[in-house]
Amino acid sequence: MNTLFAQLALTDIQEDVVRNIVSPLQSQDVFDDLTDDPREWLLAQKVEDEVKPPLYRSHTPIIDRPFEDAEWFNAIIWPFRHWQASRFSDGTYGVWYGSDSVETTVYESVHHWYRGLLSDAGFERLTVIAERKVYSVECHAALLDLQTAADKHPDLLHPSDYAFCQSVGTRIHREGHPGLLTKSVRRPAGENVAIFNPGVLNKPRLNCQLTYRLEDDQIVVEKQTGVAWMTLGIASFSPHQS
């Protein structure tokens, strides 16, 4: 561990990174299970808006409201409020993951989505559809660069064993570093960032909406309904490939 950190340099990131999250393309009213009357939905929303403090205040609230809360929460703050174990977290703190491109986020998210289907006891090999939203988010931070370190520490890119990466993440979180830059495990040509401090992220904007469609032995990714944008074979996501 000490030899790893002794070799690390900082990379200054002043650019957009891309985050790919689960999200229905059409939003659902959160009060529709209380009443069938749309007028009462509006009343409930009004009451909630009057008593709930905003998650985030924009510098231009007249322009941005009411979209800023949802975009900021979904695109940035969610993983810092809902901790879970991941490559660089043991589950005791939150980590935000982003990538250099939409394509890299697809490889990363498709891997976890398909593995999740395999772990579902009720899953059968039928057509399965998932909806995603992809956000561009400004990142301004000096990140610890792990890209070349992977040559001497291959566990940084281990496809399924996260023990070493989690120990790295625990130290980074404890010492207060904003985040790290690393190679993508699922798409070697891509890069990922792992962010430990939401303060270095800003200005989330919707980049695109995607549909993942599992059909037979491939996953079709659509930007436009019915038009394939990327096609990935499921063989690379099989359990023995992890």
**Residue scoring higher pLDDT (180 or 43):** 180
DSSP the chain: -HHHHHH-EEEEEEEEEEEEEE--SS---TTTTT-S-HHHHHHHHHHHHHHSPPS---SSHHHHTTHHHHHHIIIIIHHHHS---BTTB-SSS--EEEESSHHHHHHHHHHHHHHHHHH-TT--SS-EEEEEEEEEEEEEEEEEE-TGGGGT-GGGG-SS--HHHHHHHHHHHHHT--EEEEE-SS-TT-EEEEES-GGGEEEEEEEEEEEEEEETTEEEEEEETTEEEEEEEGGGGSTTT-
User: Which among 24-38, 67-81, 175-189 has the top mean pLDDT?
Assistant: 175-189
**Residue scoring higher pLDDT (64 or 46):** 46
Asked if residue 98 lies in contact with residue 192, where contact means CB atoms within 8 angstroms, the answer is: yes
| Mean pLDDT, the chain, integer | 85
Residue 208 in this model has a pLDDT that exceeds 90: yes
Distance (Å, rounded) from C-alpha 101 to C-alpha 20?
10
Q: How confident is the model at residue 64 (pLDDT cuts 50, 70, 90)?
A: very low
Q: What is the pTM of this model?
A: 0.81
